[in-house]
């Protein structure tokens, strides 16, 4: 049977999927028996599988979709670009649409960021930021060559390439590679869901602020940069930082001349209620990484934005060797740039941030129904990023055993009810598109609560 036949049965596709496709972040031995939906089409905020079943996209196709699927203006922009050129290189050459996008993005990101370096995923945007920060100290007017490590936040996630993994600290994902990683300094994640013995919520958070001060002070001579997910640590389970933390880190970085690298890959493009999370604490990062939502969730594209000060350290005669020798082949792909430009225009024209704020309010109200549920340890939310942590015992915050895969079971139950979500361990994550209408937000909340009930009622 040939893959090029015009129609291939759903059964055949499933067999080929199981025979040939290795899925990311997926336990394959379980996956092959799960009959996960095979998506073939989309319509607005719904995904449609090969059997014609419709599912509401409750995680924005992994945190990237912004305006829904098959948005006429974005489709048209990509089609128009197809009629011109699909790809040309950015290495020593430019493209019309990439220049327009750089201008549009620099106009809306924090004012001190004037330069935009393209790449194609969140991980590469972070790699670029790390290498830029490191090289900047080697080449700036008064070089500081001892700045050869990075400070990051406990439980951070910055992507899956080895540099990004080095500044990450999610044990389950990262421990296998520990011998391959460069050493970093991690400050404790300022989260009080569970606090160590001897602390209460407030004293633990105070400790985290103070410990960051200590570690930055002790390590500033060797710190090439401080990498942070502003306001929300997404992959760690939608951990929401207390107000003032980002500003605190900004102040420390300023005091010790450490470039602040804001990884806005997840939080950027409206998810926390503002276009970029840094705006909420009036923080100006020295480097900023964007990806996921940049194209409205259409195509792989990313960018690292930098200040003039960092950029200037890379100038000099071409033979001086100060050039940034880094680039990915599809960097600044015109189709991706065209989608991104159309997405940014829709952002401006549709008052999307108003919709985000109305959605966030409705979600808070609806998920309030879980507030006293014995198996809901915590409902965390910032804007339209939501994590519902399921536990065996709410009082003791005792987790379910990992083997039960409770979070995964909720995902499967939600699919049966027509909703696509994906958990992080036993944290049920909801990440609706910023443009999702309130009626669908309501449906997403109702279905999620019902799916949680389906699963926990079977466990006791
Ligand atoms: C998803 C994510 C990344 C990685 O992005 P990819 O496009 O998957 O490489 C990096 N940082 C944060 C904060 C993320 O959420």
Span between the terminal Cα atoms of the chain, in Å: 47
Closest ligand 1 atom to the C-alpha of 292?
A: 7
Q: Specify the pLDDT at position 6.
A: 82
Q: Specify the pLDDT at position 316.
A: 93
pLDDT above 90: percentage of residues in the chain: 95
Closest ligand 1 atom to the C-alpha of 264?
A: 13
Which pLDDT band, with edges at 50, 70 and 90, does 460 fall under?
low
Residue located nearest, by CA, to atom 5 of ligand 1: 122
202: exposed, middle or buried (Cβ count in 10 Å: 0-12, 13-18, 19+): exposed
- Tens-digit pLDDT profile for residues 290-334: 999 999 999 999 999 999 999 999 999 999 999 999 999 999 999
Of 3.20.20.70, 3.90.1150.10, 3.40.50.720, 3.90.950.20, the CATH number of 37-70+352-459 is 3.90.1150.10
Indicate the average pLDDT of the chain.
96
For the chain, the domains span 37-70+352-459, 75-350
Strand partners, 113: 307
Cα-to-centroid distance, 159 and ligand 1 (Å): 5
Residue located nearest, by CA, to atom 15 of ligand 1: 266
- 90 Cβ partners below 8 Å, 6+ apart? 98, 118, 327, 331, 332
Q: Is 430 helix (H, G, I), strand (E, B) or coil?
A: strand
Residues with CB under 6 Å of ligand 1 are 121-123, 126, 157-159, 229, 234-235, 263, 265-266, 291-292
Per DSSP (E only), the strands in 27-164 are 39-43, 46-49, 54-57, 113-119, 149-153
Cα-to-centroid distance, 122 and ligand 1 (Å): 4
37-70+352-459 matches 75-350 in fold: no
259 pLDDT exceeds 80? yes
Cα-to-centroid distance, 123 and ligand 1 (Å): 6
- 148 Cβ partners below 8 Å, 6+ apart? 134, 222, 224
State how far the Cα of 53 lies from the Cα of 23, in Å rounded to an integer: 22
Strand partners, 400: none
| Token pair 């009629």: residue | 83
Q: Specify the pLDDT at position 2.
A: 87
Cα-to-centroid distance, 289 and ligand 1 (Å): 9
- Tens-digit pLDDT profile for residues 341-396: 999 999 988 889 999 999 999 999 999 999 899 999 999 999 999 999 999 999 99
State how far the Cα of 83 lies from the Cα of 146, in Å rounded to an integer: 50
Cα-to-centroid distance, 230 and ligand 1 (Å): 13
Closest ligand 1 atom to the C-alpha of 291?
A: 7
DSSP assignment string, 226-287:
EEE-SSEETTTTSEEPPTTHHHHHHHHHHHTTPPEEEE-TTTTTTTTSSSSGGGGGT---SE
Domain 75-350: which topology?
3.40.640
376: exposed, middle or buried (Cβ count in 10 Å: 0-12, 13-18, 19+): buried
- 440's enclosing H/E stretch is helix 438-459
């Amino acid at each position: 049977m040939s893959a090029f036949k015009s129609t291939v049965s759903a059964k055949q596709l499933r067999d080929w999927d199981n025979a040939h496709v290795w899925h990311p972040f997926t336990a394959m031995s379980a996956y092959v028996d799960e009959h996960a939906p095979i998506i073939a089409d989309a319509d607005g905020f719904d995904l449609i599988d090969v059997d014609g079943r419709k599912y509401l996209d409750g995680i924005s196709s992994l945190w990237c979709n912004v305006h829904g699927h098959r948005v006429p203006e974005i489709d048209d922009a990509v089609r128009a670009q197809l009629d011109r050129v699909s790809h040309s290189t950015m290495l020593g050459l430019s493209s019309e649409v990439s220049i327009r996008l750089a201008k549009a993005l620099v106009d809306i990101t924090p004012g001190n960021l004037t330069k935009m370096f393209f790449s194609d995923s969140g991980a590469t945007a972070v790699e670029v930021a790390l290498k830029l920060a490191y090289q900047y100290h080697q080449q700036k007017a008064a070089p500081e060559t001892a700045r050869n490590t990075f400070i990051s936040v406990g439980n951070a996630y910055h992507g899956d390439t080895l540099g990004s993994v080095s500044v990450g600290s999610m044990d389950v994902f990262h421990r296998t590679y520990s011998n391959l990683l460069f050493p970093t300094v991690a400050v404790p994640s300022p989260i009080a869901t569970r606090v160590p013995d001897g602390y209460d919520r407030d004293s633990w958070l105070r400790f985290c602020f103070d410990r960051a001060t200590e570690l930055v002070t002790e390590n500033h001579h060797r710190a090439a940069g401080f990498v942070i997910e502003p306001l929300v640590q997404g992959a760690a389970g939608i951990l929401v930082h207390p107000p003032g933390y980002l500003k605190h880190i900004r102040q420390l970085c300023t005091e010790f001349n450490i470039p602040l690298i804001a990884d806005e890959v997840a939080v950027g493009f409206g998810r926390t209620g503002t276009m970029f999370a840094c705006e909420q604490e009036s923080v100006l990062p020295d480097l900023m990484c964007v990806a996921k939502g940049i194209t409205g969730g259409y195509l792989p594209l990313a960018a690292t934005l930098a200040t003039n000060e960092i950029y200037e350290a890379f100038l000099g005669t071409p033979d001086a060797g100060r050039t940034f020798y880094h680039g990915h082949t599809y960097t600044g792909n015109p189709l991706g740039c065209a989608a991104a430009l159309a997405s940014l225009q829709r952002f401006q024209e549709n008052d999307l941030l108003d919709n985000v704020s109305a959605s966030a309010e409705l979600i808070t109200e609806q998920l309030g129904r879980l507030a006293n549920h014995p198996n809901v340890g915590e409902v965390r939310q910032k804007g339209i990023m939501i994590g519902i942590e399921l536990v065996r015992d709410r009082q003791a915050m005792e987790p379910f055993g990992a083997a039960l895969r409770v979070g995964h079971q909720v995902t499967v139950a939600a699919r049966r009810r027509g909703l696509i979500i994906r958990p992080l361990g036993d944290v049920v994550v909801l990440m609706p598109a910023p443009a999702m209408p309130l009626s669908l937000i309501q449906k997403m909340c109702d279905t999620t609560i019902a799916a949680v009930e389906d699963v926990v009622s079977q466990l006791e």
